[in-house]
């Protein structure tokens, strides 16, 4: 087994050379590479991609990092971790240990699978936190959900689409919108400005990694999603993680009361899903934020669901709003103890968009 490491300074050349295309499975996409190369918190010699090759020279796996700074500590989020089916557990372990070594164990995880979370917990080098979110469905989308869960339903997808169409006719008769209080002014913005940093700082105290105007400007400009129509696209469809969709939009909103900012919220529209990756708000304005996004869900007939991991907004949707179906979602997060100690992180929570989640 051979490991190859790619740094920030090498990433653009690695992609532009086309070398990454020859491995069968793509270890990175051009959009991810360009975004990483423009990360304002990255250093040129940061290792952001490690590839594992077998004795036959074939790619067996890879692991990725997203550089960040927490207080005075340079650290990284795990951004991807893939091993070819059939390869030994040794491949996965060596990649993971290489990732830890490159970053002096100063790492964070924003979206672990239950299996990976359990494995890392057994190693006892992280502090873990499970955050519970809410996804509410306001329209039927059986044709999108069931084929992913039950492969045999692909044979009757035409019937599922007809069922969705007929059932959704009755949505306007069941659900009613609530106008947002007139005194609240809502303004669409590209990203928070520098003068919003003080407001953000007031509301991000429990988040281990702090993002401000400069970070959100970078994220807005360099997301990782390629929008395509009818299966076309610039990148071959053999990347093992989500990167291609028919619709992707990201928008920030400023909620103001008497010319004073009371909330900043980012939302994404990805195909039929509305997601709320970042919310900074004074708690008394949660109803206004909830009403706005619930109304948006009702008005945009292409949308089926809304997802949030903000505990107050999730509770508002759960107790004050009607949905066809609601489900609680666990988000498995972790911070290495080495980072918690040096950065003095005692208690933490994470937003839905922390780490690399906001890019997709």
221: its two tokens:
């400009």
Q: What percent of the chain has pLDDT over 90?
A: 72
What are 102-131's pLDDT values in tens digits? Answer: 999 999 999 999 988 988 888 889 999 999
Where do the domains of the chain lie? 2-104, 134-138+175-359, 139-174
Does pLDDT of 220 surpass 60? yes
What is the pLDDT at residue 175? Answer: 83
Q: What is the pTM of this model?
A: 0.92
Nearest to 267 by CA among 283, 287, 286, 289: 289
- Looking at residue 347, its pLDDT comes to 87
Topology at the third CATH level for domain 2-104: Aminopeptidase (3.40.630)
Instruction: Check if CATH label 3.40.630 holds for domain 134-138+175-359.
Output: yes
Q: How far apart are CA 226 and CA 247, in angstroms?
A: 9
- pLDDT tens digit sequence for 68-86: 999 889 999 999 999 998 8
Strands, sheet with 248-257, edge to edge from the N-terminal-most edge strand: 2-7, 47-53, 59-70, 73-83, 107-112, 325-336, 126-137, 305-308, 273-281, 260-270, 248-257, 184-189
User: For the chain, what percent of residues have pLDDT higher than 70?
Assistant: 98
Asked if the model's pLDDT at residue 59 lies above 80, the reply is yes
Instruction: Report whether pLDDT(343) > 60.
Output: yes
Q: Does the pLDDT of residue 315 top 70, yes or no?
A: yes
Is the fold of 2-104 the same as that of 134-138+175-359? yes
How far, in Å, are 109, 248, 273 from residue 251 at the CA level?
Answer: 25, 10, 14
Would you say residue 235 has pLDDT above 80?
no
- Tens-digit pLDDT profile for residues 134-167: 999 999 988 888 888 888 888 888 888 888 888 8
């Amino acid at each position: 087994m051979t490991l190859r490491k790619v740094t920030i300074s090498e990433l653009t050349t690695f992609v532009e050379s086309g070398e990454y295309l020859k491995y069968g499975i793509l270890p990175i996409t051009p959009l991810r590479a360009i975004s990483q190369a423009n990360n304002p918190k990255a250093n040129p010699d940061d290792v952001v991609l490690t590839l594992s090759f077998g004795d036959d020279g074939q790619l067996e796996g890879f692991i990725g990092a997203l550089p960040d700074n927490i207080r005075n500590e340079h650290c990284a989020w795990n951004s991807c971790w893939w091993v070819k089916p059939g390869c030994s557990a040794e491949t996965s372990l060596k990649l993971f240990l290489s990732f830890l070594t490159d970053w002096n164990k100063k790492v964070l995880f924003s979206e672990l699978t239950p299996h990976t979370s359990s494995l890392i917990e057994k190693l006892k080098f992280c502090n873990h936190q499970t955050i519970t979110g809410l996804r509410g469905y306001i329209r039927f989308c059986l044709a999108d959900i069931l084929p992913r869960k039950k492969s045999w339903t692909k044979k009757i997808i035409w019937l599922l689409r007809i069922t969705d169409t007929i059932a959704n006719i009755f949505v306007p008769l069941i659900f009613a919108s609530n106008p947002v209080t007139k005194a609240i002014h809502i303004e669409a913005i590209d990203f928070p400005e520098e003068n919003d940093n003080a407001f953000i700082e007031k509301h991000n105290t429990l988040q281990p990694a702090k993002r401000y105007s400069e970070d959100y400007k970078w994220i807005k400009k360099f997301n990782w999603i390629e929008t395509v129509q009818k299966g076309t696209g610039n990148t071959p469809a053999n990347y093992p993680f989500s990167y291609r969709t028919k619709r992707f939009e990201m928008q920030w909103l400023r909620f103001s009361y008497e010319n004073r900012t009371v909330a900043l919220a980012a939302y994404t529209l990805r195909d039929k899903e509305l997601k709320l990756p970042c919310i900074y708000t004074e708690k008394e304005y949660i109803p206004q934020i909830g009403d706005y996004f619930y109304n948006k869900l009702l008005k945009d007939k292409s949308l089926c669901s809304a997802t949030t991991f903000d505990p107050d907004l999730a509770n508002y949707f759960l107790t004050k709003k009607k949905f066809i179906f609601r489900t609680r979602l666990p988000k498995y997060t972790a911070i290495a103890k080495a980072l918690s100690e040096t950065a003095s992180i005692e208690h933490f929570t994470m937003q839905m968009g922390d780490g690399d989640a906001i890019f997709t």
